[in-house]
Amino acid sequence: MVLAKNIISILLGLIFSISLIFAISSYTLWKFTEESTLKPLVTNIVDENMAKTISNEEINQIYKYFKILCNGTDKIEQQIGNGSNIVNLSISCEAINHSEAGNISKVISEAIFSKIYYANLSCTYPSCFFKLKTLNFETLSIVISKKAMEFYKLTFWASSILTLISFIGIIIFGTSWTKITMSLGISMLVSSLPLIVVYLLKSKLSLFLNERFGNIIESITSTAYKGFWTFLILGLILVGISILAQNKMNVKKK
């Protein structure tokens, strides 16, 4: 009976570790793909690229052209891009009329973001992700879409429930409280192993990227970094408590 409980506890500990890793990772991606996080990142990148490729005179001409098109309509449809990356944008005339010539790039970048984020994907996420072949507008629509955010959110809650169930199972099938704390502690330490990967992404990869893309890496990894560090510390505490308690019990027996 004790052997069976120990085996079950080990299996539950493994499930706990894996589900906790998924919970932290999916929570990180969920928060990163929320509109409030992505929108400023994407629009700033588009703004910077437009500033480098389009002169102020051209910006003014675009603004005047858009103002003319907005006469008597709520929105205008415009094509951007080239080759296979041509995209139809829907731009609000209210946004155009309330902006100045110098801010028209912001209006365009926000329209681009909306097109990406609220894209009507022809497949479900994450199946779309595994069909990616080239880096283009459609790729962005899959990776940073609202559907991706909803998938990560659902994955987080499913993983969290599984983590909670396995946590309760470890307590139920534990043969002693010292073994329970040890099992939970080790499971938390195992679940914090991705911290190494996150650290490499956070500290090393950013060195090879410009400031803007470095900020994106920082935005992605910061939440995961805190999560994995938290469970690393909790795991060490639980393992330490278990060892101290076991040593104290052994001393009493002597």
pLDDT for the residue 18 = 94
Task: Measure CA 168 to chain center.
Answer: 28
> What pLDDT sits at residue 62?
87
Q: What is the 3 state secondary structure string of 122-183? A: CCCCCCCHHHCCCCCHHHHHHHCCHHHHHHHHHHHHHHHHHHHHHHHHHHHHCCCHHHHHHH
Query: Taking Cα atoms as reference points, which of 63, 67, 88, 65 lies closest to residue 78?
Result: 88
Q: Which residues contact 124 (CB under 8 A, 6 or more apart)?
A: 147
pLDDT tens sequence for the chain (254 residues): 667 777 888 899 999 999 999 999 999 999 999 999 889 888 888 888 887 888 888 888 888 888 888 888 898 888 876 655 667 888 888 888 888 877 888 888 888 888 888 887 777 777 777 766 655 566 667 778 888 899 999 999 999 999 999 999 999 888 788 888 999 999 999 998 887 777 766 666 555 555 556 667 777 778 888 888 899 999 999 999 989 888 877 766 65
How far is CA 233 from each of CA 183, 184, 193, 195, rounded to the nearest angstrom? 15, 12, 12, 12
Per-domain boundaries in the chain? 1-33+145-247, 37-144
> What is the spatial distance between Cα 5 and Cα 11, in angstroms, rounded to a whole number?
10
Q: What is the pTM of this model?
A: 0.82
Q: Distance between CA atoms of 160 and 24, rounded to whole angstroms?
A: 9
| Per-residue pLDDT at 22 | 93
pLDDT for residue 6: 74
